[in-house]
Amino acid sequence: MADISRSFPNILITGTPGVGKSLLSRILCRKTGLTCIEVSDFAIEKGCLLEYDEVYECPILDEEKLLDEMEDLIYQGGMIVDYHGCDFFPHNWFDIVFVLRTDNTILYDRLKERGYTGRKLDDNIQCEIFQIILEQARTTFEGEIIHELASNNINQITDNVNRICRWIDQWKLDNQEE
């Protein structure tokens, strides 16, 4: 973000459904005191939904209304935003973007456990295979703020939490007012 007058950074945690975004975000919020915006829940709470998609069995996001609802929170700073898409967010909202990636076999099992079937299951696996979310991040945000993280098991999640906490500490040092 161009003019930093915030005490804490804004972080985007993104990736295909089932890669561990919500778990990572919850742990980070507990460890850092930052606030998590789980976009799907936030959109329901704020009425930022359009019609229901019967094929994917989920509501369709009203992106413009969502961005309007999130804007003041983002400008305050200290937000961890958790969502499976990223190409509609303004490029200057986040100080860093973490794209979680998971081995397709592991992801398949996770999505099956969630009850994903048919086209919804196949399309999400294809999304991961073809790195769709990573490519969205690369076309939306500056390359130096995008970081790809493996998220196959609890050890990698722990490593990711520790890495992000170190990054937050460094951000605070780099951005403290003198």
- The rounded distance, in Å, linking the Cα atoms of 66 and 98 is 21
22 marked among binding-site residues: yes
What proportions of the chain, in percent to the nearest 5, are helix, strand and coil? 50, 20, 30
120 marked among binding-site residues: no
- The rounded distance, in Å, linking the Cα atoms of 96 and 109 is 29
Strand partners, 11: 80, 96
Q: Which residues lie below 8 Å from residue 22, measured CB to CB, with a gap of 6+?
A: 38, 82
- The rounded distance, in Å, linking the Cα atoms of 6 and 12 is 16
Strand partners, 35: 79
Binding site for ATP: which residues? 18, 20-22, 114
Binding site: which residues? 18, 20-22, 114
